[in-house]
Amino acid sequence: MLFSTHVFADPLQKSEDIVKFFAGQSNLGASRGICVGTEEECKSKAEKDGATQKGGLDMMINFALDSAQLDQTARTELDEFAKALKDNRLSTFSFVVEGHTDATGTDSYNQGLSQRRAQSVAAFLTANGVQSTRLEAIGLGKSHPRVANPYDPVNRRVEMRIRTE
């Protein structure tokens, strides 16, 4: 389950907002319930409910072309994320740090670059007091673009999600 959506109005998320968001994700299991109605009505309601739930919090950690270096904007965002992860309310959560690329380059190269991006973010968080055992850095290459244009710079990013396994 990936927790990520765009938040354009205020690109800098404060640590308290991050804590509140992820603390609210603590009930990640499948919900159970009874739907009264036809099969089509119940399916339609389930799809509508799933579509209206807030999917996540976007830290907007983006990278320059062919780079795994964190710029100042990324460092500022990650400072707030590190503060949030050190909060007692999130102490039981572990996170997957997912690196992504755009479609520029070969599959093999993009896989390695996305892994380096994820490791760069995880190393920054660890250097800022987050236990390394709570972070898993993985590279997904160009396989999960954020936008339809596979070459769009928005696809060069790292996303964080709660580890649910």
- Angstrom distances, CA of residue 62 to CA of 121, 150, 154, 164: 11, 15, 7, 24
Q: Tell me which residue range forms the domain holding 149.
A: 54-163
DSSP three-state, residue 86: coil
| HSE (side-chain half, CA atoms, 13 Å) at 115 | 6
Does some domain include residue 36?
no
CATH of residue 83's domain is 3.30.1330.60
Q: pLDDT tens, 63-73?
A: 999 999 999 98
Residue 23 lies in a domain: no
In a domain, 11, yes or no: no
Is residue 94 packed enough to be buried (19+ CB in 10 Å), middle (13-18) or exposed (0-12)?
middle
How do residues 79-136 score in pLDDT, each as one tens digit?
A: 999 999 999 999 889 999 999 999 999 999 999 999 999 999 999 999 999 999 999 9
Q: How many domains does the chain have?
A: 1
